[in-house]
A and B are shown apart, each in its own frame.
Chain A
Amino acid sequence: MQRYILKRLLAALPTMAIVGVVVFSIIHLAPGDPAAIMAGEDADYEQVEAMRESMGLLDPIPVQFWRFVKGVSTGDLGESIFSGHSVSSLILDRAEPTLSLAVLSLSISILVSIPAGVLAAWKMNSIFDRVVMILALTGYAVPYFALGYVVIFVFAVKVGWFPAGGYVYMSDNFWQYLHHLLLPSFVLGFAGSALITRMTRATMLEVLKEDYVRTARSKGLGETIVLLRHAFRNAANPVLTVIGFSIAGFISGVVITETVFAIPGMGRLITEAISQRDFQIIQSTILVVALIYVMVNLIIDILYVFVDPRIRYDS
């Protein structure tokens, strides 16, 4: 088992390295000269050159890349081209809203879609199954931002149950924090549920046809035990894989949801940085986000071991 985990850990390293190379080259291929931006509009050639020198942009690309790698590995993500603030502290400030939103919406969609998928498969072709499948098909096609505005319109403007946007930090007031997060998390969770529900239903349908499920039933076991202990445990692995896949979708969704609900998170940080062409922030934030994605998938790889003992014995 340790060997399996170690193998997974080692496999994540090259992926991270490639993310680093991709992000670094994107930024360096970008037109527009960060030194010229920083030096200001009235700067003459010498001033821009001096700025370029002080930013290390005159060094050969491999040297710059090495500096970038060294910085990242010690947690130094550089400074914002505009404000001069350290990017690591900017990201830390923005991390709580983003992570809260991602965790809450992912929890909502897992809590909704797994029971929905299991029950839909159990009662295949029933009205419940049809409603679930229609909702799942809808979740695929609904644009996050449009759903966000509709939900704001109904629940914030018309009924007034929730605030229309904004964010309250957890340490300031926990209930307010939750109150502000529920609406955006629901929007993101609904859209994210579609894939997980469909996958749960599809794998459950297959597992329910297996001989051991029939055996369990003929032993006289109750349906709940058959469904949960015999069927779902065997369907859990593909479901876990899909959850891992959909994390990327959740992160993309967070960026849009933060804009709709005016939440000051990492997504807003990136979109603001892009409109200002602050490539230092863009580069570092994307690297951090990709790192989170790779870590989450690593955790999921390790969870397989607990869900499916076969992996434990194979390795």
Chain B
Amino acid sequence: MSNESVTKQELAFQGLREKIPWYISAKDAVLRNPNMLIGLVFISIVVVLALICPLLIKIGILRDPYIFDPLNRLLPPGRSPDGDLFLFGTGPLGRDIFSMVIYGSRISLLVGLSVAILAASIGTMIGILAGYFSKLDDIIMRFMDGIMAIPGILLAIVLMAILGPKVENVIIALTVVDAPRTSRIVRSVVLTIRESQYVDAANAFGASKARILFRHIAPNTFAPVIVQATFLFASAILSEASLSFLGAGVPPDIPTWGNIIGEGRIYFIGHSNIVILPSLGLFFLALAVNMFGDGLRDSLDPKLRGKT
């Protein structure tokens, strides 16, 4: 067969076999999906601001969010009578809301990222165990059902009441709430993979249980888990804020979005900027992460496009 007769399909097939580097396919996926791009750009801006925030405070571009200034309390956005600029106004203790919002993104991102990583990895381990070892399945999943029957925010509040108000404890509480949900998804994926032909083939070749688990099953759960992790990230950001808002989260003096809103809520009428501006930060970050997650799911599994 001469070279000229190589069909388009064969070329495409060769292209597949050449293995496209991940960063090229990632770039393609992001550029093909404008929502994902918008989400990614917004997340990147927040991450960069959060990272350089201490530097901005040090060189004086941002006010220190821990400085209490009773003379300048509850100022509306704009210039104070002394001519100082407070872009978002000041809170009930005279703290600059703009720098509190920028600084607060650090806690939101920290909690969101940690919960996403922890809940996704613990949930994956539990899900793989339950899905692969049918003897464990019933015990594990009934236990997970029991945890999931307690509404998330209530379970988190109770755990916080027990553990005490600390950022680490918020992460632990939200991980306990979210890991069972991940395990359910992973388990259902494992149940399907377990019946697939390549697992049968591996069994027939005499592969060990561990090899089947780690070489054949675990890698195939990664795509849904990564997608799930982005949604966990968004919901953890919102839950952390809810906890702080209810007074059961991060200690109240640490400027987080939930704490700023909680602190400002009794001043809402007349000083709505204290509540609305951090809420917008929360909303746009959660929206951006969800948009990114939607795009990620579409590109990792085109069959799921448009599904929840």
Residues of A within 8 A of B (CB): 14-19, 21-23, 26, 29-31, 137-138, 140-146, 149-150, 152-153, 157, 195, 198-199, 201-202, 205, 242, 248-249, 251-252, 255-256, 259-260, 270-271, 274-275, 277, 282, 286, 289-290, 293-294
Contacts and interface: CB of A to CB of B under 8 A. Distances in A.
Given A146-B279, A157-B269, A22 B306 contact: no
B265 A270 contact: no
Nearest to B177: A252
B220 interface: no
Interface in B132-165: 142-143, 145-155, 157-159, 161-162
Interface stretch (B69-77, B191-199, B234-242): B234-242
Nearest to B155: A286
B247 A153 contact: no
A15 B146 contact: yes
Given A15-B149, A137-B290, A248-B152, A256 B246 contact: yes
Nearest to A138: B287
B154 A31 contact: no
B224 to A, nearest CB: 16
B145 to A, nearest CB: 5
Given A29-B162, A289-B154, A14 B142 contact: yes
B77 to A, nearest CB: 16
A201 B269 contact: no
B232 interface: no
Nearest to B147: A22
Top 4 A-B pairs, shortest CB-CB distance: A18-B146, A146-B279, A141-B286, A252-B153
Contacts of B167: none
Interface of B: 142-143, 145-155, 157-159, 161-162, 234, 238, 241-242, 245-248, 261, 265, 268-269, 272, 275-276, 279, 282-284, 286-287, 290-291, 294, 306-308
Given A14-B142, A271-B246, A293-B151, A149 B265 contact: yes
Given A26-B159, A145-B261, A251 B151 contact: yes
25 contacts: A15-B149, A18-B143, A18-B146, A19-B149, A26-B162, A29-B162, A30-B162, A31-B162, A141-B234, A141-B284, A141-B287, A142-B283, A145-B261, A152-B268, A153-B269, A198-B307, A199-B308, A202-B306, A205-B306, A252-B152, A255-B153, A255-B154, A271-B248, A289-B151, A290-B150
